[in-house]
Amino acid sequence: MQIKTATLFRNKRENEEKEMIWKICFAMSLIFLAAGAVMFFYKRYHGKGGVRYLGGGVFLSAVSICFPVMHLTENDGFALAMSISQSIRMFVIDTGTSDILDVLQQDALGSIYIPYKIVVCILYLLGPVFTLSVVLRYFSNFFERLRIFFSSRKNLYIFSDLTEKSLEVATNLVEKDEKKKSAILFCNSNAKDDENVELEEKARVIGAILVPQEASRLHLKNKKRYLTYFQISDDEEKNLDCTLAMIDRMTEKNLKKYGATEQNITIYCFASGDEKEILLDAKDKRNLRVILIDEIRDSVYEHLYRYPLYANQNSTEKNGKLSVLNANQNSTEKNGKLSVLIVGGGKIGTEFLKATVWMGQMKSLDLEIYMIDLKGNLRRKSLSARCPELLQEDSDYQIDIHKGNIFSKKIELYLNELKDINYCMVSLGEDEKSLRAALALRGYFYRRYKKVQPVISVYVESRKKREAIRNLNETTRTKEKYYYDIVPFGNGGIYQSQQGSEALLIEYLGMGIHAHYCRLKKEDNRETRREVIKGYYSRQYNRRSSIAGGMHISSKLWEMGLGIIRVPENECEKKLFQKFVHPVNYEERTENIRKTCYSLEHDRWMAYVRAEGWSLATEGGKNIDDIRECYEQYCQVFKNQNYPDKLHPALIPLESDDPQIATLQQVDDMIVQVNKKLGLEYEPRYVESDEEVVDHIGEIVSGEWCGEEGIVLNGRVVQANEWIIADLGEILQYDTEILKRDEAKMSLEKRLALQYEMMRCRNGKISL
């Protein structure tokens, strides 16, 4: 009797243990499934791929749900191994639900019998789904690699991440690539494909290739093509880290293993800040072209080149005609004013102001800059701290930073005090607020000026909003459209992506300035040209400084009645072009007037250097003795400027009537004397350098320095004579014909740009 009772008790306990195992495993299965789902949605919320977490949760849930079934006939260890095996079979569709459902014991499961069966069925359905997605991804990646192989002769634009920003840049590239010589490739696409289906669909519309690898792991051949990489994630720190890592990996030794070379690789790193520039410049980039992209600064540069500050300068001082340069003009004589109004002093407004200071240096026009901001006093202090000499009172330009609200009644009183405004830029941090201010200014200036309206530009983040702003218009009594002519601009990586626009010309002129200083000639060999290019991209500041010098060439030419225009590639277009436009021999045409621009180039350079935060190298005053004393302290370390302290001895006027202010030639002579005394070899030749830049503008623009093979810029080969210098009157005639012929099919952006180009030509046209 006791034995029977003990046996019954033991059986009862074993049944309870088995029932407990069923319940525990069922609970664990639900926990694993829920944990996988939670991680999946958590990762999606933070912009990362979470499919693997959901798949892992399903697998662990399947192991847990199968364990009690296997435990019926096996011990713990074998039961666990068989559960894992069964789960794997579940994922590869090598088993059915009957393998588990037929073994379930309703008596043992009790109330969880039906829920248990439901979970088993769900897991058997989910397993193959994940397997199918993995297989599809594998074949998708295989086909994408196949597309890369068949694109082996095309230039490649490779983006580190698929984002709204990178997609916008890629779309611009595709629109400009009329000959379809390039392909687009997005990396790390699978990391976010579960949430960015729409982005992937848009990417495929433009024919992009999507791969899961990192950009530097692709191992692409490039000896007969050009590779352009964009480190363009939303995290600037990540962009810089990845760029530095790419520089380390992409050595010539590593690249040769798969038939690649450094010389045909360009890397754009989307990041801003002086610290990032310092870190990038500290890296030996060898023959790689590494460019730091500050989207705000670059968009300001391109905007000011497309819509220059003097675009609508319609001076009436002399019989209604703009008197520009002439051989007898006094070096200090000005014929008019260039007044610029900046609304908003944030990063965009500050960058615009700094660019305006040097872009607005004109021989015939005085420069006045007015900024309105709610924190005007704070903006002035901040700007003075970063650029100590930018706001000095004895400069040849005027800057007034006013504290005020652009939407207040009082601000109109301030605007009434200002003289005629030629140019406005609005950036208040929010697109809608900026547009509202721009419209208010257009209304104000419409009431104030009836004939000549200032250019009003507005910084807008959204590309779609920019397109809408260009179309702002009202219907007149004659049923015609009256456009507000508000010019929107923004970032989105547009600067380096527009191969056929100002972006390429800006880079080309910057390289031309650098080639001029390096004395690069047409007959120089490939190795010499390669070293010059290497020097141009070695330091970000050097490249940016050359670009500033190149951009200002247009201003100098405009004051001479000349302009830069690109020769069309299409033969039909070229015939029309040659009918109206003829190249000008710059050296002969400007022989009697270009000398008036010698001092202008030095003024432009000083304004740019001050905007970059540099100050005069002196122990106090501007006399030659104080400058000499400061120079002697660092000349044995640095041959010219003091880089750590941002001090330069040449921040002094070309000419001066004040004996307490040194001239540029005096500083030049002083440096030669000090160097000779200390046994150092260096002659700065500051005066001659400025003169040579002006004298050789024709060579810089013509591009003879490109050589017979040409030079690669922005992913394409640029040849000599792609751009020419021509008379503004002839450019105006050609633009008028183009507008007349294509206005109906022309985009609003192109129409607006062409109209301002015609205005610029019309106002700068002179008879010599």
Residues 613 and 574 reside in one and the same domain: yes
112-119 mean pLDDT = 81
Are both 219 and 245 inside the same structural domain? yes
Q: Is the pTM of this model over 0.85?
A: no
**Sign of torsion, CA 145 146 149 153?**
negative
The pLDDT value given to residue 313: 78
Instruction: Give me the number of domains the chain comprises.
Output: 4
Q: In this structure, are 658 and 748 located in the same domain? A: yes
Domain end, chosen from 490, 523, 546, is at: 490
Supply the pLDDT for residue 338: 93
Write out the residue range of the structural domain in which residue 170 sits. 154-292
Q: Is residue 143 part of a domain?
A: no
- pLDDT at site 395: 84
Residue 141 lies in a domain: no
Whether 306 and 280 map to the same domain: the answer is no
Q: Which of 103, 135, 167 is the last residue before a domain boundary?
A: 135
651 is a domain residue: yes
Q: How far is CA 679 from CA 630, 633, 705, in A?
A: 18, 15, 35
Question: 615: alpha, beta or left, given left = phi > 0 and alpha = psi -120 to 50?
Answer: beta
Asked whether residue 616 falls in the same domain as residue 696, the answer is yes
Q: Which residue has the higher pLDDT, 571 or 419?
A: 571
Same domain, 731 and 765: yes
**pLDDT value, residue 588:** 94
Q: What is the amino acid identity at position 676?
A: K
* Three-state secondary structure call for residue 370: strand
Helix (H) or strand (E) holding 455: strand 455-459
Is residue 461 domain-resident? Answer: yes
Contacts of 88 (CB under 8 A, 6+ apart): none
Of 726, 767, 764, nearest to 364 (Cα)? 764
Q: Is 288 contained in some domain? A: yes
The answer to whether residues 329 and 462 belong to one domain is yes
Is residue 67 within 8 A of residue 103, CB to CB? The reply is: no
**Domain check: are 262 and 326 in the same one?**
no
Question: Can you tell me the mean pLDDT for 512-533?
Answer: 93
Percent of the chain's residues with pLDDT above 90: 50
At residue 318, the pLDDT reads 42
Q: For 132-185, what is each residue's pLDDT tens digit?
A: 666 566 555 667 777 888 888 888 999 999 988 898 888 888 877 767 778 999
- Say whether both 624 and 720 belong to one domain: yes
Segment 45-96, tens digit of pLDDT: 665 656 677 778 888 888 888 888 887 777 878 888 888 887 777 777 767 7
Per-residue HEC secondary structure of 657-680 comes to CCCCCCCHHHHHHHHHHHHHHHCC
DSSP state, residue 453: P
pLDDT of amino acid 495: 43
Residue type, 312: N
Distance CA(62)–CA(88), nearest Å, equals 9
The C-alpha atoms of residue 171 and residue 176 are separated, in whole angstroms, by: 9
Using CA atoms, how far apart are residues 432 and 72, in angstroms rounded to an integer?
A: 69
CA angle 54-60-66, nearest 5°? 135
Q: How confident is the model at residue 256 (pLDDT cuts 50, 70, 90)?
A: confident
The Cα 435–Cα 428 span in angstroms is 9
- pLDDT computed for residue 13 by the predictor: 64
Q: How many Å from the N-terminal Cα to the C-terminal Cα in the chain?
A: 131
Least confident of 187-201, 263-277, 577-591: 187-201
Tell me the one-letter amino acid at 542: N
What stretches of 711-760 adopt beta strand conformation (E)? 711-713, 716-718, 723-727
Examine residue 102 and state whether it is found in any structural domain, yes or no: yes
- Kindly state whether residue 144 falls inside one of the protein's structural domains: no
CA angle 425-429-430, nearest 5°?
Answer: 105
* Residue-wise pLDDT tens digits, 420-429: 899 999 999 9
Q: What confidence score (pLDDT) does residue 221 get? A: 85
The CATH number of the domain holding residue 387 is 3.40.50.720
Write down the mean pLDDT value for the chain.
Answer: 85
Q: Could you tell me which of 464, 458, 417, 465 has the C-alpha nearest to residue 440?
A: 458
pLDDT digits (tens, 9 = 90+) for 328-374: 444 455 678 999 999 999 999 999 999 999 999 999 899 999 999 99
CA distance 36 to 55: 7
| pLDDT for res 327 | 45
Band (15; pLDDT cuts 50, 70, 90) = low
Residue 383 pLDDT > 50, yes or no?
A: yes
**Same domain, yes or no, for 327 and 405?**
yes
Alpha-carbon distance of 508 to 103, in angstroms, equals 77
Question: Which pLDDT score is estimated for 138?
Answer: 55
Q: Which residue, of 244, 260, 292, is where some domain finishes?
A: 292
Does residue 145 lie in a domain region? Answer: no
Structure tokens at 610: 């001050």
- Positive or negative torsion for Cα 265, 269, 275, 277: positive
Written as one string, the DSSP assignment of 60-98 is HHHHHHHHHHHHTTS-HHHHHHHHHHHHHHHHTT---TH
The CB-side HSE value for 387 (13 A sphere, CA atoms) comes to: 19
Examine the pLDDT at 255 and tell me if it is beyond 80: yes
**Placement of tokens 């260096």 in the chain:** 682
Same-domain check for residues 521 and 484: no
CA-CA distance, 164 to 699, in Å (whole number)? 40
Tokens encoding 589: 């045409």
Residues 582 and 714 grouped into a single domain: yes
